[in-house]
Amino acid sequence: MPRAKVAAPHATHKFKLLLKREFWEHKGGFFWAPFIAGGVFLLLSLMGMITAEVAKSRAAGQDIDINGAHVQVGALDLSKLTQHLSAEDLRQFGGAIDLTLLMSAGIPFIVLGFVVFFYALGSLYDDRRDRSVLFWKSMPLSDSQTVLSKLASATLVAPGLAALAGIATMLVLMVMLSLFVLIHGGNPSTLLWGPASPLSVAATFVAGIPVYAAWAMPTVGWLMLCSAWARSKPFLWALVVPVFVGIFVSWFDLLHMFNLDTAWYWQHIFLRLLGSTFPTMLGAAANLDTMQVHGPEDIAGLASVRSLYSLFATPSMWVGIVAGLAMIVASIRLRRWRDEG
């Protein structure tokens, strides 16, 4: 009997397999690191709550003076406190809770910056160092597919998992705070879940993933270019080249002819080239022109979806995207002939 013809695997199927390969090879950084960071934050928060309860129990029965009113430390009744809160008080309190949730969910994203940085730096160098690149080149996979799968892992998969870790951290913290409120006679629905906007904060982190991917493009592109080009020590090349250029520009004041000072290079070139994987820099850039803060609710509003997506209206974002894509193309071409160990 003639053998049935086996259809060649579709390009999207190959790409999915490459993404799975990157995930399983770097599961510790992509998955476990952000969840562990969130868990450590929750553990420290729990320890802080327990410490506060122990301190309150030791000070039980003592009176303290707050604006002329005598308050008994051991008699904390949140139900009575809620009765005296106005609508404006609850709005401001909700803004403070949103800010707390934003900070707690942002802890895994701090780890994300380091994970993506070192992942991109070793993405095309490690398989040349251990010569596994020869095996992968023997597979029916193009260099473009391989490099793009690493790019997608750094800019989409890793921040997506960090967003899940951040949302999980935020929700567990809300449960812990709810239990604290219940213990002290309060209603979590009235005091926490009603004034706060946990779903809105969670949606901000999810909706911000494409913005992060675009913003991180110059750093990821530069690190992958160094990873594909360097024969050894890609970290030194990635750091030394922009530092040397910065010293050269500063020494001869080359930017003066463009009516720019030396600080412009370090802020718009050096930091964008090496620091764009860190979401803190993304948030600072998104709110550079709107840093008018009058309360906690205004601080939480600075990280809104509208604020983040406003970056697509800035030249810095698009210049970074174009530069990053150009370096990715160069990385693909370098990988076609760099296969030494």
What residue spans define the domains of the chain?
76-335
Q: Please state the rounded mean pLDDT for residues 287-293.
A: 47
φ and ψ at residue 253, rounded to 5 degrees: 50, 50
Q: Which residue has the higher pLDDT, 130 or 172?
A: 172
pLDDT at position 140: 66
Which residue in 195, 199, 197, 165 sits closest to 181, CA to CA?
195
Tell me, what's the pLDDT at 2? 53
Q: Is residue 67 predicted with pLDDT exceeding 80?
A: no
Q: Which parts of the chain are beta strand (E)?
A: 63-66, 69-72
Is the pLDDT confidence value at 156 over 90? yes
CA 283 from centroid of its chain's CA atoms: 10
Residue 291 has pLDDT above 50, yes or no: no
The pLDDT tens digits of the residues spanning 84-94 come to 667 777 778 88
pLDDT on residue 172: 96
Could you tell me the pLDDT band of residue 70, with boundaries at 50, 70 and 90?
A: low
pTM: 0.84
* Alpha-carbon separation of residue 53 from 65, 82, 153, 173, 272 (angstroms): 20, 20, 43, 17, 45
Compare 260 and 247 and report the one with higher pLDDT.
Answer: 247
Q: What is the mean pLDDT of residues 204-227?
A: 95
Q: What are the angstrom distances between the C-alpha of 39 and each of 35, 105, 170?
A: 6, 11, 11
What's the confidence (pLDDT) of residue 267?
Answer: 86
Query: Residue 35: what pLDDT?
Result: 97
- How confident is the model over 43-67, as a mean pLDDT? 75
pLDDT at 159: 96
H/E stretch holding 267 reads: none
